[in-house]
Structure 1
Amino acid sequence: MRWITLTRLARVLVLLPCLAMTVPAFAQTGETPATLDGAKTIAAADAKALLAKGAKVFDVRKKASFADGHIPGAKSASAAVNANDKTMDTAILGADKDAVIIIHGHGTDGWSAVYAVKAAVAAGFKNVNWLRSGWADWSASGFPVEN
Structure 2
Amino acid sequence: MTDTFQRIAPEQARELLAQGAQLVDIRDAQSFANGHIPGARHLDNQSLHAFIAQADFDQPLIVNCYHGMSSQGAAAFLAQQGFSQVYSLEGGFERWRLMYPQELSRDLG
Whether TM exceeds 0.5 here: the answer is yes
Contact 2:20–2:59 under 8 Å retained in 1: no
Letter in 2 for 1:135: F
Task: Give 4+ residue runs of structure 1 displaced > 6 Å after superposition.
Answer: none
Aligned equivalent of 1:63, options 29, 34, 40: 29
Aligned equivalent of 1:95, options 34, 55, 71: 55
Q: Which blocks of at least 5 consecutive residues in structure 2 are unaligned?
A: none
State the distance in 2 between where 1:102 and 1:123 align.
Answer: 14
Q: Which blocks of at least 5 consecutive residues in structure 1 are unaligned?
A: 1-36, 82-88
Quick check: which one's helix share is greater? 1
Identity of aligned residues (%): 31
Match of 1:123 in 2: 81
**Aligned alpha-carbon RMSD (Å):** 1.9
State the distance in 2 between where 1:96 and 1:78 align.
Answer: 18
State the distance in 2 between where 1:76 and 1:95 align.
Answer: 14
Is 1:146 the counterpart of 2:105? The answer is: yes
State the distance in 1 between where 2:49 and 2:8 align.
Answer: 21
Q: What is the TM-score normalised by the length of structure 2? A: 0.82
Q: Number of paired residues?
A: 102
Instruction: State the Cα distance separating 1:137 from its structure 2 match.
Output: 0.9
| Relative contact order, higher structure (CA 8 A, sep 6+) | 2
Instruction: State the Cα distance separating 1:90 from its structure 2 match.
Output: 4.8
Q: What is the TM-score normalised by the length of structure 1? A: 0.63
Report the structure number with the largest CA radius of gyration: 1
Instruction: State the Cα distance separating 1:119 from its structure 2 match.
Output: 1.2
